[in-house]
Amino acid sequence: MEERRKRIFSGIQPSGELTLGSYMGAIRNWVALQEEYDCLYCIVDEHAITVRQDPAQLRRRCVAQLAQYIACGLDPEKNIMFIQSHVPQHAELAWILGCYTQFGELSRMTQFKAKSQQHADNITAGLFTYPVLMAADILLYQADLVPVGEDQRQHVELTRDIAQRFNGVYSDTFVLPEAFIPKLGARIMSLDDPTAKMSKSVPEGCINLMDPPEVIMRKFKRAVTDCETAVKYDRENKPGISNLLTIYCAATGKTLAEAEAAFAGQGYGVFKPAVGEAVVELFRPIREESERIMGDKAYLESVYKTGAQRAQQLAVRTLGKVQRKIGFVAR
């Protein structure tokens, strides 16, 4: 009997355009994962509403983000790609799991503390119970692995605690997921502050996947460097140039030594536009394909509807098992 491939679940917030940092740090790796794992990629619109959203923007971003992931190489035939609110079992399981989660566990979540400070005028129950919905997202599909950064590891640990608690009461029901740190992609820093991670919240320091070529070129020409002229990697003393070298190598496939040799004696006036051009050419086919997909509404709709149907086939099995074990009357 053939062994089941390990299953990966990743929930993606439709919070705006994909960035150079997210593409080079994560998305390129995901494309490789689809050959080795069974992957579910969920646009988590229910998570997004823990803070106020513009309804039209939220709808647009969900669909645009899906189009961009496909353009980056995620194959809807090989992956289950869907929108969270299209699978109602997420919310149903979240309520049940909330009854097996302690108030103290949620109050200790560092992201709740951070977001409460960011959105002090809108600290909702949803913001507080957000980790329970995340646990439901993962456990609903019996995911083995969850790709996360360090800032999300605590959520996976809570998910395991909830699953173990439930399994302890009702016998084995959920697979215990593990945080999955994929092979590291390039760590991309902000163009206007190379000591900080590239972030959508700082537009001038951030390159978006859908930025026009002239915008990309302008941002690279303005990128913070130093008062020297040598194109040399030195993260401690030359963080700006080191960041640009990292980006150039990730975009072109060259090694650091090859890049340094190519620009020896040429200075930043030549180097910075060259980095911009490399990123423009890297993103050109992705941007064009994203725009083409966005123009094909019927195709995009078929992707997220088929994805939701495939996801629901898995979700109903888990939810049905949970409902039987806790004593709900069969529907």
Q: Is 115 a catalytic residue?
A: yes
Q: What angle do CA 117, 181, 131 make, to 5 degrees?
A: 35
Q: Is 221 a catalytic residue?
A: no
Reduce the DSSP state of residue 177 to 3 states and report it: coil
Helix ranges (DSSP H) in 211-267 = 213-221, 239-252, 256-262
Q: Is 241 exposed, middle or buried (0-12, 13-18, 19+ CB in 10 A)?
A: buried
- Give the Cα separation of 188 and 226 in Å (integer): 18
Q: Walk across the sheet containing 38-43 and list its strands.
A: 79-83, 38-43, 7-12, 145-147, 178-180
- Give the Cα separation of 116 and 304 in Å (integer): 32
Q: Which listed residue (6, 78, 200, 221) is catalytic? A: 200
Q: Which listed residue (115, 219, 238, 272) is catalytic? A: 115
- Give the Cα separation of 266 and 29 in Å (integer): 33
Q: Is 197 a catalytic residue?
A: yes
Q: Which listed residue (6, 78, 197, 232) is catalytic? A: 197
Nearest to residue 192, comparing CAs of 220, 160, 152, 155?
220
Point out the residues that are catalytic.
115, 197, 200
